[in-house]
Amino acid sequence: MVNPLVMDPWIWKNPGPLHVGDRVRMRRGSEDVEATVVEDRGNLGVGGKRVYGVRFRVDDVSDEIYTERMVDELTLVARAPETPPKRRRKKRSQE
Q: What pLDDT is recorded for position 16?
A: 82
The domains found in the chain, sorted by start residue, are: 9-78 (2.30.30.140)
3-45 residue pLDDT tens: 555 566 767 677 788 988 999 999 998 999 999 999 988 888 8
83-93 residue pLDDT tens: 777 777 777 76
Q: What pLDDT is recorded for position 67?
A: 95
**Count of all residues that appear for the chain in the document:** 95
Give φ, ψ of 12 to 5 degrees.
Answer: -65, -40
49-68 residue pLDDT tens: 899 999 999 888 889 999 99
Q: What pLDDT is recorded for position 46?
A: 83
Give φ, ψ of 19 to 5 degrees.
Answer: -125, 160
The DSSP code for 47 is: G
Q: Residue 49 and residue 35: Cα distance in Å, rounded? A: 19
